[in-house]
Amino acid sequence: MRTDPDRPASSAPWPTWVHAPVRAAIEGTGVRELWTHQRHVADLAHEGVDVGICTGTASGKSLAYLLPVLSALSEGVSAPTGRGATAIYLAPTKALGADQEARIASYAIPGIRAATLDGDTPTDERRWIREHAHLVLTNPDLLHHTLLPQHERWASFLRRLRYVVVDESHVYKGVFGAHVALILRRLQRIAARYSASPTFVLASATSAAPSEQLGRLVGRPVQVVDEDGSPHGATTYALWEPGSAPSDPTGESRRSAVAESADLMTALVRRGVQTLTFARSRVGVEVVAEMTRAALGSDGSTVAAYRGGYLPEERRELEAALRSGALRGLAATNALELGIDISGLDAVVMAGWPGTVASFRQQAGRAGRGAAPSLVVMVAADDPLDTFVTHHPAAIFDRPVEQAVCDPANPYVLAPHLAAAAAELPVTVADSAYFGDDMVGLLAALVARGVLRRRPRGWFWAREDRPADHFSLRGSGEDVVRIVETRTARVLGTVDGARSHTTVHTGAVYTHQGAPFVVTALDLDDGSAHVVPGDPGWSTMARSVSSFDIVSSHRHEVWGDCELHFGTIRVRSQVTSFLRRLPSGEVLGEHPLDLPERELVTRGVWWTMPESVALATGLDPADLPGALHAAEHASIGMLPLVAQSDRWDIGGVSTALHPDTGVPTVVVYDGHPGGAGFTERAYAAARTWLAATRSAIADCSCAHGCPSCVQSPKCGNGNEPLDKPGAVLLLDRLLRDAPVDGEG
Ligand SMILES: [Zn+2]
Ligand SMILES: [Zn+2]
């Protein structure tokens, strides 16, 4: 338990530079004065400084960036063209863009035209937007596919481009973050072509100072404002580890976080405490809402489940019901973080650690109404991170949030953007200012492949089609497999090629948006997996064999007898069979699969320890493979502590004798070609990361290893062998001579 005292308001007067009609319009909505952080951000952006605003949920971030933007647009209305300045607002979801458009419309500033541009915008409307809109609300995909390739049509808009707002910038991480970072560089390059040099304003929900991350996203330094001047009541935090499940005589598995959270929400709602419960999956959300409703009996109708994909009117209704108090409890996935405007609840319950400190703070930020006190409870689920944070609250409260990393220098991501850039405007040597030092080498490779042509004036696109159509911003630039419903031939979605063998092999039970499907055939030549809906009553787990070669070590440290490296590796893996398992865990059978080997060249962090050193800890030689494997699993589970990775973005291999190193070796790697920046970050924070891994294993109350410490849901070996005590011995030995991290 821990309580943050209340924070008084800190206000500032309006800046004098705000255009009078803008101030009048905003004051008309009831805003009398600004919070200090709003003023600070607005002043910096007005002066042309790229700025990041990183304050809590409901701290009025929008107003901070809208002041300079709307002021510039409003002043531009009196220009001869009626459009002296323009701006772009980027949001990761439609819902967020729609909310922002509604907010701006509610100000009704004379002459300002804001318009949403997305994939569904009709052609006529697009033309109107290009010629007349002051503010375009859109998303990175649309910049990539439409605005940048057609920049000549957008010339009059781009010539006047003064601001680019990147909202929810913390979602741009990993491979997707690298793509967006390169789109923003392409935008700067094209804007410069029209003599425009827009100021960037980035809003991030994380409350620490991620100036390095924001700088990587924009490609130039960003000044961060993170002292929050908005008032907030005292918040009490509780971290809760459920007792063991009554059905489990071994005491090895805990009661589920979902059931425990439903009980908590029931108790809170009964006491008149308006509560929002976050669950990790849609199924979890349904279960929490169902259990709470059942427990509340006749009052059950005051509790709802929030499902994604609501229409705007439905969302507004839900928001209004919460605000009026008609709704006393709501269960939601963290998709809500982006889609709906809810804050000011009495209590927030989290069924499971939300993955990162950043998400934790964002979800917790939904609690607290004005100066009234609020409660936040995190209920630990079966996961090493949950175990760790419950036992080490300092990891949540006393350290900065994990860095949301991306690596725009990844050649697998950079090369297709260079091709896209060349098609927009020939690339010249000077463009390395945007694309980095590796640019020229990559351009030469694109010329060799016939994608680009080198001429005296630069590198030109050499093909007939459009480069932007050749790659997906969310994938890793390689093949994807379409999920096709056999009966209707409807495409439900896609799976990355890298993940397809393990998730949609023939016979797999595949969950798509919470609904189960069975894969009847995986056709690799056609790039499709055929599925039929239905739950067969069992789940499937792919088994695979993996190995890796070290291509090159870029950096390393000697830790006494051990070594830690960061570098390029080649991972070879082959899915060989799958298991069918009942919910009880009972295995129904193993079925062989005939799938080709896959190769992944990526970045990884690895550590080595001579066998004699490992055995000197008292470890039995027979337990060495299990100890390494257990340490590998837990360290993958703990990586989100230092980099905002998802467990599924990361892979690992451990071996008691590696041919390249000649000694026991554990590698953890980015699961995307060329890497995603996560393991680079892990290397930089290796001591923090591995010490936390050691604690997560040692603190877990199980005897032989469980999902809360060393078991992994994605293990290709069926979690065999695993040696929990051995993993602690090895990590203790490894950390004995580890230096303090250069950065934390
Ligand atoms: Zn355990
Ligand atoms: Zn494993």
Concatenated DSSP letters of 549-583: EEEEEEEEEEETTEEEEEEEEEEEEEEEEEEEE-T
Ion ligand 1: residues, CB within 5 A, are 700, 702, 706, 708-709
**Dihedrals φ, ψ of 117, to 5°?**
-120, 110
Q: Which one of the ligands is nearest to 718 CA? A: 2
Q: Which ligand is nearest to the CA of 636?
A: 2
In the three-class reduction of DSSP (H, G, I as helix; E, B as strand; rest coil), residue 543 is classed as strand
| Helical segments of 77-173, H only | 94-107, 123-132, 140-142, 155-159
What is the chain's mean pLDDT, rounded?
A: 90
| Whether 551 contacts 601, CB under 8 Å | yes
Q: How far is the CA of 541 from the centre of ligand 2 (A)?
A: 12
List, for the chain, all residue ranges whose pLDDT scores fall below the cut of 50: 209, 743-744
In this structure, the number of other CB atoms found within 10 A of the CB of residue 314 comes to 12
Using the mean position of ligand 2's atoms as its centre, give its distance from the Cα of residue 139 in Å. 38
Among the bound ligands, the one closest to the CA of 702: 1
Amino acid at site 32: R
Query: Considering the entire predicted model, what is its pTM?
Result: 0.82
Q: Which two tokens stand for residue 19?
A: 């255009």
> pLDDT (tens digit, 9 = 90+) per residue, 56-101?
777 889 999 999 999 999 999 999 999 999 999 999 888 788 889 9
pLDDT of residue 221: 94
Output the CA 720–ligand 1 centroid distance in Å: 15
Structure tokens belonging to residue 421: 């850039």
- Strand 347-351 relative to strand 34-35: parallel, antiparallel, unpaired? unpaired
Burial group, residue 169, by CB count within 10 angstroms (0-12, 13-18, 19+): buried
The Å distance, Cα 690 to ligand 1 centre, comes to 17
Residue 163 β-bridge partners: 87, 199
Listing DSSP states for 706-726 in one string gives -TTTT--TT-TTTT-S--HHH
One-letter amino acid at 44 equals L
What ligand is nearest to the CA atom of residue 543? 2
- Residue 168 CA to ligand 1 center (angstroms) comes to 35
Q: How far is the CA of 720 from the centre of ligand 2 (A)?
A: 7
First-last CA distance in the chain: 25
Q: How far is the CA of 707 from the centre of ligand 1 (A)?
A: 6
CA of 565 to the centre of ligand 1 (A): 28
Answer for the pair 143, 118: CB distance below 8 angstroms, yes or no. Answer: no
* pLDDT on residue 335: 63
Tens of pLDDT, residue by residue over 250-263, are 555 678 999 999 99
Q: What is the distance in A from the centroid of ligand 1 to the CA of 559? A: 28
- Compute the distance from residue 383 Cα to the ligand 1 centre, in Å: 9
Q: Which ligand is nearest to the CA of 652?
A: 2
Relative to the alpha carbon of 666, which ligand is closest?
2
Nearest bound ligand to CA 697?
1
Residue 499 confidence (pLDDT): 81
Question: What is the CA(387)–ligand 1 centre distance, in A?
Answer: 9
**Ligand nearest the Cα atom of residue 387:** 1
Crossing angle for the helix pair 724-736 and 624-638, nearest 10 degrees?
A: 70
* Ligand 2 centre distance from Cα of residue 511 (Å): 22
CA of 505 to the centre of ligand 2 (A): 19
DSSP state of 146: I
Only one residue has tokens 């009554």, namely: 246
User: Would you say 740 and 687 are in contact if contact means Cβ atoms under 8 Å apart?
Assistant: yes
CA of 652 to the centre of ligand 2 (A): 8
Residues 6+ apart with CB under 8 A from 16: none
| DSSP symbol at 134 | S
Ligand with an atom nearest the CA of residue 708: 1
Give the pair of three-digit tokens for residue 359: 């998400």
- pLDDT (0 to 100) of residue 515: 77
